[in-house]
Chain A
Amino acid sequence: MHPKIALIDQMSKAKSEEIRKTKDGELAQDIPSFRPGDSVTIAVRVVEGDKERIQNFTGTIIARRGSGINATFRVRKVSNGVGVERIFPLFSPNIQSITVDRNGHVRRAKLYYLRGMSEKKIRQKLR
């Protein structure tokens, strides 16, 4: 990467940090280290009309991609029998905190094979 683009990346990260600090105050946490297979809870800011509130999204990390400011991660959960996947930018200012609930043990970087599996099978896989 060109050094000056790296500089812009740093600036964006700093700005994201700043937005989180001003909006969340002490609730804003540093980004923890996590990897595919981990169960996480993400506190994400949701805008409804002109109000903002925090919504929790709990699920399994099934993929991480990208580098620098463009890095994202993909979280999957099963809600009322329907699989839901969300992609979050790692440095998004709309994420208040990421909490790692449980570490999974998997051998693959992308866990797309979890999509067709039953809950029981997934539990076995992530142990």
Chain B
Amino acid sequence: MGALLGKKLGMTSIFSDDGESVPCTVIEAGPCPVVMLRTKDNDGYDAVQIGFGEIEDRKVNQPTKGHFKKSNTTHTRYLKEFKNIKAETGEVLTVEQFQSGDMLKISSNSKGRGFQGVVKRHHFRGVGMTTHGQSDRVRAPGSIGGSSYPSRVFPGMRMAGRMGGKRTSIRNIEVLQVLPEQNLILVKGSIPGAPNSIIEIVKL
């Protein structure tokens, strides 16, 4: 098991050895200092807290600086905790823990789509017909339930609303290439989030 924090840079494509074009996402990940170890005795659970991202010295307040000082690490912009990984405080995690062929789980906030209708948000098909008096119902949700019974709409009924901008995870993302000098990982296909969003990478 390995874990890392990173930043999505964007997408491009590379060529495989057979000459096939493979779409890939470029991730800048690490170096991530291990800032703190959560233990069962102290915190009730086991986890490793790691940091990522540069931040100017003047933007870090004193309590945060103290937190980093305990582990003798430089302060970072982000802090996240990961379970089920082994690390020592002060250690610096890099992309070198991954190699091509590894399978990853990648979590991030997906792109916010704003207020969307049911066709985009829940893959409804719309009411369908444009004739028979249905002139403006092509993307409508249709019936949302009975009338006198139950006289209410059941909770969880899928309707229009805010879409995206939520934590989304994708499993089994393949590592294509690791560039340790650049702190880069190339993974196959797309990952959640917009460019420059912070992402969590866990080795499966």
Interface residues of A (CB under 8 A from B): 1-2, 4-5, 7-9, 11-12, 15-16, 19, 45, 68-70, 89, 91-94
Contact = CB atoms under 8 A, between A and B. Distances in A.
B12 A68 contact: yes
Contact of A1 (B10, B21, B28): B10
Interface of B: 9-15, 17, 19, 21, 24, 26, 28, 182, 184, 186, 195
A94 B19 contact: yes
User: Could you tell me the dominant secondary structure of chain B's interface residues?
Assistant: strand
11 contacts: A5-B10, A5-B12, A8-B184, A19-B19, A45-B19, A68-B12, A69-B14, A92-B15, A92-B21, A93-B15, A94-B19
A16 B14 CA distance: 9
A8 B12 contact: yes
Contacts of B9: 2, 4-5
A4 B28 contact: yes
Nearest to A12: B14
B14 A19 contact: no
A16 B15 contact: yes
Nearest 8 CB-CB pairings of A with B: A93-B19, A12-B14, A94-B19, A2-B9, A5-B10, A5-B26, A16-B15, A5-B12
Contacts of A15: 14-15
Given A4-B184, A70-B13, 13 more contacts: A1-B10, A2-B9, A2-B195, A5-B9, A8-B186, A12-B13, A12-B15, A15-B14, A16-B19, A19-B17, A70-B12, A92-B15, A93-B15
Contacts of B195: 2
A68 to B, nearest CB: 7
Contacts of B24: 8
Contact of B10 (A2, A16, A93, A94): A2
B23 to A, nearest CB: 9
A49 B46 CA distance: 53
Contacts of A9: 12
Of listed B10, B19, B21, residue having the most chain A CB within 10 A = B19
A11 B28 contact: no
Nearest to A93: B19
A4 B182 contact: yes
A70 B21 CA distance: 9
A90 B12 CA distance: 14
A4 B13 contact: no
A5 B10 CA distance: 7
A119 B19 CA distance: 34
A12 B28 contact: no
B100 to A, nearest CB: 14
